[in-house]
């Protein structure tokens, strides 16, 4: 008999929308940073993405999904969403705003739908990985399937 897998809310949402994905667990490792997660899962760091939440000059919140081996380019990101400037939200604001904790933030299943931009590098990949909404869990899916799960656009927002 197959052991029942721990499903996260993100996985349940993808199942509900009939979006194919593969789940990966690294909960039993010491991996903390994105590049470490990529290494334990034997994935190219350019394929593993982190979810960052920002606030624009206007007060509007934005979500950016960028490769773990790169940084969010704040000027490019602001231009991509039509803001004068953006900045990262304080870590303590993440849980009340999104429902996720630092290290387990996913673009899928946030409390509220925020304008979401995925780094354009994802478009060249057959699959990409994002957090499954819980530390130690990732989901691997096609970039166009992520777009079906969460309305998002692609733009060059990393450096």
**Mean pLDDT score of the chain:** 94
DSSP for 88-107?
EPPHHHHHHHHS--TT---S
pTM: 0.94
Q: Does residue 89 form part of some domain?
A: yes
Work out the pLDDT band at 145, boundaries 50, 70, 90.
very high
What's the pLDDT score for residue 5? 58
User: Number of structural domains, the chain?
Assistant: 1
Joined together, the tokens standing for residue 79 give 């231009």
CB 42 within 8 A of CB 53: no
Q: Does residue 114 form part of some domain?
A: yes
Give 3-29 pLDDT, tens digit per residue. 445 799 999 999 999 999 999 999 888
Residue 31 has pLDDT above 90, yes or no: no
Give 100-134 pLDDT, tens digit per residue. 999 999 999 999 999 999 999 999 999 999 999 99
Structural domain boundaries, residue 56: 22-155
Q: Does residue 29 form part of some domain?
A: yes
Spell out a b/e string for 25-45, using b for 16 or more CB atoms within 10 Å of the CB, else e. Answer: ebeeeebeebebbbeebebeb
Higher pLDDT, 91 or 116: 116
Query: What is the CATH number for 91?
Result: 3.90.960.10
Residue 140 has pLDDT above 50, yes or no: yes
Q: Does residue 47 form part of some domain?
A: yes
Residue 79 has pLDDT above 50, yes or no: yes
Please choose, from the candidates 110, 56, 114, the residue with its C-alpha nearest in 3D space to the C-alpha of residue 84.
56
């Amino acid at each position: 008999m197959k052991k029942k897998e721990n499903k996260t809310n993100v996985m349940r949402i993808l199942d509900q929308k009939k979006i194919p994905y593969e789940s990966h667990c690294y909960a039993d490792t010491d991996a903390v940073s994105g590049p470490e997660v990529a290494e334990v899962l034997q994935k190219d760091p350019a394929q593993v993405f982190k979810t960052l939440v920002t606030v624009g000059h206007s007060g509007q919140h934005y979500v950016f999904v960028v490769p773990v081996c790169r940084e969010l380019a704040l000027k490019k990101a602001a231009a991509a969403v039509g803001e004068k400037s953006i900045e990262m939200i304080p870590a303590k604001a993440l849980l009340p705003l999104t429902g996720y904790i630092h290290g387990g933030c996913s673009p899928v299943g946030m409390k509220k739908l925020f304008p979401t931009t995925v780094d354009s590098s994802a478009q060249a990949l057959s699959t990409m990985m994002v957090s499954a909404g819980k530390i130690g869990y990732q989901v691997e899916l096609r970039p166009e399937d992520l777009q079906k799960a969460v309305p998002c656009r692609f733009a060059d927002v990393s450096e």
